[in-house]
């Protein structure tokens, strides 16, 4: 039988009552925790938990771009690093950036660039760090969601926040917000990120296969989850900024 990281495939990923291995309904997100301003040293930060996936994001800047010859005359450079800590996964991840982490850093950067007003900071650089503390599926979507919150927390002007989750196909059922086992043993995994205010998709990847009709239904399911996440993001930011005195805003 197929086996990843020593964890065998459960006999069934969906039970006779339509429940998933962690007891969720197919259209249910995992329990979410969100906090902004969790770090003192960075200009903006956010912590997110989507079930067992725990991610922290930190933003520095805008600051003068270094080395200077890399500075752009008409906009800021957005540097982005997605990284998994060695202890975030079952089989300790090697130190240093893997190809997967380099790819995900690029994917996250490109999504963030669609909503950030970089042209307001010519010759500057903004650094975004995404650290995965514990991985249980959906780290790129949790990372992107946290990174957009950290940018907002840093006061960087943005057209919208980015909210993201994955949808997929597991034992023939479409499911929202896949955990690691569903990701590994399911038939398809599709991370989706949106700028919900504009109803625009800023990142979409698909690993596996879906029929066209399934793809449409999966996208609608992702959108439902994204709207729930977006609501929580706005609440957490409102809470933070309503607690600040007028001088601090």
At its nearest, how many Å lie between ligand UDP and the CB of residue 197? Answer: 24
Which C-beta is closer to ligand UDP: that of 137 or that of 196? Answer: 137
Take residue 125 and report the two structure tokens written for it: 């650089």
Which residue from 158, 146, 160, 165 is spatially nearest to 236, judged by alpha carbons? Answer: 146
Sorted by sequence, the CB contacts under 8 Å of residue 167 that are 6+ apart come out as 174, 175, 176, 177, 178, 190, 192, 218, 219, 221, 222, 225
At its nearest, how many Å lie between ligand UDP and the CB of residue 153? Answer: 22
Which C-beta is closer to ligand UDP: that of 90 or that of 110? Answer: 90
Category of 123 on φ-ψ map: left (φ > 0), alpha (ψ -120 to 50) or beta: left
At its nearest, how many Å lie between ligand UDP and the CB of residue 88? Answer: 8
Interface residues with ligand UDP (CB under 6 A) are: 5, 89-90, 93, 135-140, 166, 180, 183, 189, 191
Which C-beta is closer to ligand UDP: that of 105 or that of 139? Answer: 139
Separation of alpha carbons 74 and 77, rounded Å? 10
Which C-beta is closer to ligand UDP: that of 37 or that of 191? Answer: 191
At its nearest, how many Å lie between ligand UDP and the CB of residue 112? Answer: 16
Which C-beta is closer to ligand UDP: that of 65 or that of 140? Answer: 140
Beta bridge partners of 101: none
Helix spans in the chain (H): 99-113, 139-153, 180-185, 212-243
At its nearest, how many Å lie between ligand UDP and the CB of residue 72? Answer: 29
Which C-beta is closer to ligand UDP: that of 59 or that of 132? Answer: 132
For the packed helices 139-153 and 99-113, what is the interaxial angle rounded to 10 degrees? 50
At its nearest, how many Å lie between ligand UDP and the CB of residue 58? Answer: 19
Using alpha carbons only, how large is the chain's radius of gyration in Å?
A: 19
């Amino acid at each position: 039988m197929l086996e990843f990281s020593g964890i065998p495939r459960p006999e069934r990923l969906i039970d006779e009552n339509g429940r998933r291995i962690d007891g969720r309904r197919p259209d249910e997100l995992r329990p979410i925790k969100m906090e902004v301003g969790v770090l003192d040293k960075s200009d903006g930060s956010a912590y997110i938990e989507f079930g067992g996936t725990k991610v922290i994001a930190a933003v520095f800047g805008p600051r003068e771009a270094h080395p200077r010859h890399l500075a752009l005359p008409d906009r800021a450079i957005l540097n982005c690093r997605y990284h998994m800590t060695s202890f975030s996964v079952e089989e300790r991840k090697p130190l240093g950036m893997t190809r997967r982490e380099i790819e995900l850093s690029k994917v996250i950067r490109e999504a963030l660039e669609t909503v950030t007003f970089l042209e307001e900071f010519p010759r500057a650089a903004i650094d975004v760090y995404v650290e995965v503390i514990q991985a249980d599926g959906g780290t790129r979507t949790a990372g992107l969601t946290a990174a957009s919150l950290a940018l907002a927390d840093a006061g960087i002007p943005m057209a919208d926040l980015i909210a993201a989750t994955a949808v997929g196909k597991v034992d023939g059922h479409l499911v929202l917000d896949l955990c690691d086992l569903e990701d590994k043993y399911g038939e398809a995994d599709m991370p989706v990120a949106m700028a919900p205010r504009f109803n625009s998709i800023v990142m979409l990847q698909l690993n596996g296969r879906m029929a066209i009709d399934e793809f449409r239904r999966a996208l609608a399911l992702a959108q439902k989850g994204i709207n729930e996440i977006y609501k929580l993001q706005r609440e957490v930011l409102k809470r933070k900024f309503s607690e600040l005195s007028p001088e601090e805003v």
